[in-house]
Structure 1
Amino acid sequence: MSLVAFLGAIEIGLVFGLVALGVFLSFRVLNFPDLTVDGSFPLGAAVAATLIVHGVDPYAATAVAIAAGALAGLLTAFLNLRFGILHLLASILTMIALYSINLRIMGRPNVALIGSDTVLSPFQGLGLPNLTLKPLFAGVVLLVVGLLLTRFLLSATGLAMRATGSNPRMARAQGVDTQAATYVGMAISNALVALAGALFAQMNGFADVTIGTGTIVVGLAAVILGEAIFRARALTVWILGCIAGSVIYRLAVALALNASFLGLNASDLNLVTAVLVAVALILPGARNPLRAMIAGRKRP
């Protein structure tokens, strides 16, 4: 694998680390299966790209994209909590609606950002090539977001949110407003995914209505890989595992596609993704039969 492909995989892995953190928050912390991310990722890209093209400051455009993602998460939570729609179905409804909304926002299937200022523009005068600047910038953003998310989840509000996902009935008995915790968690989750979409569009120079396809699979793969690698269940380790899982996943995809002896092409990306996710799902449980056998032998 060439240096260009390696750094490109690192860059995309770091950007999708934000998606992994969002998926971790909804699936693991809130226990809320959320497919909205397939729509909120291109939503962040669409909002940021459209505003930038119309002359809005890239950082302001990114902030608006984050807010748009939070609204998407709130809509999914509202459909579930207010109308009793199953969380999975509520997220699918929001995801489907966002496809048309993204088209409305962009006015066409894709928006090019070539020649426009982006969040990277202020740093391009430092003498670093884009090949190095992009992963560095994405890494710094991901580090800051990871620290803020860790601090939040260790706060009283974060503990209430974790209790809501772990045992909502017990949480309500302790005076936790589980509905408010769900609203906040879903908003933050999809805001992180929209931030990833906004950064992805600005780093790659375009926003497309189809870039969100399979986002949930990538996010889940990162979370599962992280859990398989880092077996500890401490919060900080979990978050580090999500980030590491995202980077490792993208490197594995890049290696598979660049391995000439495998004979894979770019069109085989979905196949590679499916295989990697299947392996990630199988590995954590691969030790279970052995553990059961050992446990059985220890019993009197």
Structure 2
Amino acid sequence: MTMYSMLGAVEIGLIFALVALGVLISFRILNFPDLTVDGSFPLGGAVAATMIAHGIDPFISTAAAIAAGAVAGALTGWFNVRLKIMDLLAGILLMTALYSINLRIMDKPNVPLITEPTIFTILLPEMMPDYIERPLVLLVIVIIVKLLLDRYFASESGLAMRATGANARMARAQGVPTGRATLVGLALSNALVALAGALFAQSQGGADISMGIGTIVIGLAAVIIGETIIPARRLVWITLAVIIGAILYRFFIALALNSDLIGLKSQDLNLVAASLVTIALVLPMLRRKLRGGSRGNAKKGA
């Protein structure tokens, strides 16, 4: 595995760390199985790429992509909270609708950004190769997002959102507006995912209508791998674990696809992804069994 491939894996891993943080909010904190992610990721890319292609500043375009993702997440929450549509179905409905909306935004299946200015071309000084500088810029962005999330979830509004996900009935009994917390949480989750989509489009040189396929699987895999490697209860460590999980996920995929001994090819990407998620799901169970067995042996010895 070359240094170029390794840094490329880190770059994509940092982008999907934002997706993983969004999935963490919906699946873990709110306990809401939100499939809007598969639509809000390409939505962010479509909005940012289309605006940049029309000569709008990349930073304004990225901010618009974040706002579009927040609206998509809020709509999912509105379907669930106000229209009483089941959470899983609400996400599926928005994900399906966003496919057509993204096509409308781009007016074609893809929008290239090869010759257009992006956040990376503006921020990066021409001192090092771009494949080294881009991961550094993304690392700064991910760290800033992590710190802001940690600060938010330590606030009164963030604690109310966490209480909503832990026990909505008890939270309502304590005067927490659980409906509003769900709307805000899903808006925040999909805003992060749309930010990842906007950065992905600018990093890879364009947006494509199919770029969101499997996004939710990648986000869940990053969360599961991170929680397996760094089991923690404090949210500060959980967000860090999720970021590390996203980077490791992309690194393992790159390692598998670039290994001549295994013989895997690009068409085996989904197979590798499914295998990694399966391993991540099985490891905690094996760990519990090993701990249970060691405790049983210790009692017998006593």
Equivalent-residue separation in structure 2 for 1:242 and 1:123 (angstroms): 26
Residue 115 (str. 1) matches residue 115 (str. 2): yes
Which residue is 1:264 aligned to? 264
SS of the equivalent of 1:111 reads strand
Which residue is 2:54 aligned to? 54
Equivalent-residue separation in structure 1 for 2:85 and 2:296 (angstroms): 43
Which residue is 2:184 aligned to? 184
> Residue 289 of structure 1: CA displacement?
2.2
SS of the equivalent of 2:207 reads strand
> Residue 122 of structure 1: CA displacement?
1.9
> Residue 104 of structure 1: CA displacement?
0.4
State the Cα deviation string for residues 203-262 of structure 1 (Å, max 9, x = none). Answer: 110100000000000000000000001112111110000000000000000000001011
> Residue 182 of structure 1: CA displacement?
0.5
SS of the equivalent of 1:33 reads coil
Which residue is 1:149 aligned to? 149
Which residue is 2:236 aligned to? 236
SS of the equivalent of 1:243 reads helix
Query: Normalising by structure 2, what TM-score?
Result: 0.97
Residue 33 (str. 1) matches residue 33 (str. 2): yes
> Residue 123 of structure 1: CA displacement?
2.6
Report the more deviating stretch, 75-84 or 207-216.
75-84
> Residue 291 of structure 1: CA displacement?
3.2
Counterpart code for 2:207: A
Identity rate, percent: 59
Equivalent-residue separation in structure 1 for 2:252 and 2:289 (angstroms): 27
Counterpart code for 2:136: L
Equivalent-residue separation in structure 1 for 2:130 and 2:294 (angstroms): 52
SS of the equivalent of 1:85 reads coil
State the Cα deviation string for residues 110-131 of structure 1 (Å, max 9, x = none). Answer: 0000110101122333412111
SS of the equivalent of 1:59 reads helix
Which residue is 1:86 aligned to? 86
SS of the equivalent of 1:83 reads coil
Equivalent-residue separation in structure 2 for 1:36 and 1:104 (angstroms): 18
Counterpart code for 1:260: D
Equivalent-residue separation in structure 1 for 2:232 and 2:258 (angstroms): 33
Which residue is 1:278 aligned to? 278
State the Cα deviation string for residues 150-184 of structure 1 (Å, max 9, x = none). Answer: 00001110000000000111111111000010010
Equivalent-residue separation in structure 1 for 2:295 and 2:91 (angstroms): 40
Equivalent-residue separation in structure 1 for 2:290 and 2:125 (angstroms): 56
Which residue is 2:172 aligned to? 172
Counterpart code for 1:155: S
Residue 104 (str. 1) matches residue 104 (str. 2): yes
Equivalent-residue separation in structure 1 for 2:125 and 2:165 (angstroms): 46
Equivalent-residue separation in structure 2 for 1:84 and 1:286 (angstroms): 39
Counterpart code for 1:149: L
Equivalent-residue separation in structure 2 for 1:223 and 1:245 (angstroms): 6
How many residues end up aligned between the 2 structures? 300
State the Cα deviation string for residues 264-289 of structure 1 (Å, max 9, x = none). Answer: 10111001001001101111111222
Which residue is 2:214 aligned to? 214
Equivalent-residue separation in structure 1 for 2:232 and 2:205 (angstroms): 38
SS of the equivalent of 2:34 reads coil
Equivalent-residue separation in structure 1 for 2:146 and 2:126 (angstroms): 26
Is the CA contact (8 Å cut-off) linking 2:124 and 2:134 kept in structure 1? no
Equivalent-residue separation in structure 2 for 1:234 and 1:191 (angstroms): 23
SS of the equivalent of 2:125 reads helix
Query: Normalising by structure 1, what TM-score?
Result: 0.97
Counterpart code for 1:212: G
Detail structure 1 runs of 4+ shifted over 6 Å in the superposition.
Answer: none
Equivalent-residue separation in structure 2 for 1:256 and 1:196 (angstroms): 24
> Residue 147 of structure 1: CA displacement?
0.3
Equivalent-residue separation in structure 2 for 1:35 and 1:85 (angstroms): 14
> Residue 50 of structure 1: CA displacement?
0.2
SS of the equivalent of 2:35 reads coil
Which residue is 1:22 aligned to? 22
State the Cα deviation string for residues 83-114 of structure 1 (Å, max 9, x = none). Answer: 11110111011000000000000000000001
Stretches of structure 1 lacking an aligned partner (at least 5 in a row): none
Which residue is 1:290 aligned to? 290
State the Cα deviation string for residues 34-88 of structure 1 (Å, max 9, x = none). Answer: 1110000000000000000001100000000000000110111111111111101
